[in-house]
Structure 1
Amino acid sequence: MPPGGYAWWYVDGVSDDGRHGLTVIAFLGSVFSPYYAWSGRADPLNHSAVNVVLYGRPGAWAMTERPRGSVARDATSLAIGPSSLHWDGTTLTIRVAEVTSPLPSRLSGTIRVRPAGITPGPFTLDAEGRHRWWPLSPASRIEVAFDRPSLRWSGDAYFDTNDGDVPLEDSFRSWTWSRSTLKRGAAILYDVERRDGSRQDLSLRFDPDGTPQPIEPPVPARLPPTLWRLPRATRSDDGAASVLRRFEDAPFYSRSLLSARICGEAVRPVHEALDLDRFTNPLVRLMLPFRMPRAPR
């Protein structure tokens, strides 16, 4: 991994009853780490973390950054501190052992992601080919079993990986992204505004086995700004969408559960909006350590 580079593995899921949600991101070269930025980004592995967020009741947030001595990896496994991910060919098993922030409490449990199928390969997000996105399994099932807090549920899930050779903010101004579970497969809408002013708008439908099919981009749909006044938008068949639930609301980032119509179906997309100009604001970076502590070793 080159200096300034990064890689992450991402899972999100929503329970079948809609009461609970979850996001897990394992970072090497944590792209949102102020410590990585302040270090000059010479050593990506020295800035690694497992971010775990539980939405609903009980909710929880954990994202402790760890140095390279806390990282172990091989072709099928990745461990960062006490948490780990393992792929056995059919199931991704995530074992969580973290401490929440800013109020410390134990967060421990096991998450199993079972993909219906694996997609054929990655997409390039920038013209130079320095950022790659691979939606490994847009249509998955997830089983969540936590001891601390006591929590068990199952639902639909999504699994992807990203990697890049330079910081995100060098190449992009912003993006909006959403994934929707369909009756058969899933749909992903990914609208990227590049730093040079050009755009890449991906509208994709995936069969249950992971086969991708480009679709005509749905109509732009407005969404209200977040509590931090972050602009956001999405797409839908009829140009209408609404926010059902706010998952995360930060100065530069939001995650929400929407209601919309995509590919002719009424769906509940998981949606994110990211503003990298806001992220690079020095004041915003000074705020991040309150939610993202760094372990000494």
Structure 2
Amino acid sequence: MPRGGYAWWYVDGVSDDGRHGLTVIAFLGSVFSPYYAWSGRRDPLDHSAINVVLYGAPARWAMTERRRRSVARDATSLAIGPSSLAWDGSGLTIRVNEVTAPLPSRIAGTIRVRPEGITPECFALDAEGRHRWWPMAPTARIEVALDRPALRWQGHAYCDTNDGDVALEDSFRSWTWSRSTLRRGTAILYDVLRRDGSRQDLSLRFDPDGTPRPIDPPVPAPLPRTRWRLPRATRSDDGAAAVIRRFEDAPFYSRSLLSARICGEAVQPVHEALCLDRFSHPLVRLMLPFRMPRAFG
């Protein structure tokens, strides 16, 4: 991994009844780490973390940044501190054991993700190809079995990976992203505003086996600003969408469950909006250690 680079592996899932949600992100060269930025981005592995977020009851957040001595990896597994991800050829097993912040509690247990298919194609998000996105398992099933808190559920899931050679904020101003579970496969909308003012707007439908198929971009659909007054929008067939549930609300980032119409179907997209201009503000970076502590041992 080059100096200043990053990689992350992302899983999100929503229970079949819509009551629970979960996100797990394993970071090498954590893109949202103030410590990585303050270090001059010299050593990506020295700024690694596993972010675990539970939505619903109970709602919990954990993201402890760890040094390179706490990272172990090979072709099929990655361990960062006490948590790990392992691929066995047919599914991903995630074992988490993390302490939440700012109020300490524990998230511990096992998450299993079973893709229906693997996508063969990787997409460049910038003109120079310095940022790459691989939606490797757009359609998947998830089983959550946590001991702390005691929580069991199953649902639909999505898994991707991103990697890059420079900081996100150097190349992008903002983006919105959503994934919608269809009756057959998954639709993903990814609208990126680059730092130079150009755009990368991806509208894709994935068959259950992972085969990607471009679709005509749905109509832009406005969404209300968040509690932090973060602007956000999405797309839908009829130009209308609504927020069903707020999952995450930060000064520079939001994650929500929406209602919309995509590919002719009534769907509930998982949606995110990211403003990297806000993220780059010095005051925002000073706030982040309260949610993202760093383990110095």
Range into which the TM-score falls when normalised by the shorter chain: over 0.9
Aligned twin of 1:202:
202
Please give the residue correspondences for 1:274-285 in structure 2 after superposition, counting only pairs within 5 Å.
274-285=274-285
The number of residue pairs the alignment matches comes to 297
Q: Deviations over 1:17-65 (max 9, x none)?
A: 0000000000000000000000000000000000000000011100000
Letter in 2 for 1:228: W
Aligned twin of 2:110:
110
Aligned twin of 1:290:
290
1:18 pairs with 2:11: no
Letter in 2 for 1:265: E
- Measured in 1, the distance between the counterparts of 2:263 and 2:98 equals 39
* 2:12 alignment partner, SS class: strand
Please give the residue correspondences for 1:165-204 in structure 2 after superposition, counting only pairs within 5 Å.
165-204=165-204
Segment of structure 1 superposing worse, 264-273 or 101-110 = 101-110
Aligned twin of 1:2:
2
Residue identity (%): 85
1:107 Cα offset (Å): 1.2
Please give the residue correspondences for 1:129-148 in structure 2 after superposition, counting only pairs within 5 Å.
129-148=129-148
TM-score w.r.t. the length of structure 1 is 1.00
- Measured in 2, the distance between the counterparts of 1:278 and 1:4 equals 20
Task: Give the CA RMSD over aligned residues.
Answer: 0.4
* 1:221 alignment partner, SS class: strand
Letter in 1 for 2:82: P
Please give the residue correspondences for 1:1-297 in structure 2 after superposition, counting only pairs within 5 Å.
1-297=1-297
Letter in 2 for 1:180: S
* 1:161 alignment partner, SS class: strand
* 1:285 alignment partner, SS class: helix
TM-score w.r.t. the length of structure 2 is 1.00
Letter in 1 for 2:230: L
1:150 Cα offset (Å): 0.2
- Measured in 1, the distance between the counterparts of 2:96 and 2:276 equals 29
Gaps of 5+ in 2: none
Q: Deviations over 1:44-89 (max 9, x none)?
A: 0000000000000011100000000000000000000000000001
Gaps of 5+ in 1: none
* 2:36 alignment partner, SS class: helix
* 1:174 alignment partner, SS class: strand
Letter in 2 for 1:79: A
Q: Deviations over 1:82-141 (max 9, x none)?
A: 000000010100000110110111210100000000001210000000000000011000
- Measured in 2, the distance between the counterparts of 1:115 and 1:250 equals 30
- Measured in 1, the distance between the counterparts of 2:253 and 2:107 equals 23
Letter in 2 for 1:138: P
Letter in 1 for 2:40: G
Q: Deviations over 1:225-249 (max 9, x none)?
A: 0000000000000000000000000
Letter in 2 for 1:121: E
Letter in 1 for 2:222: R
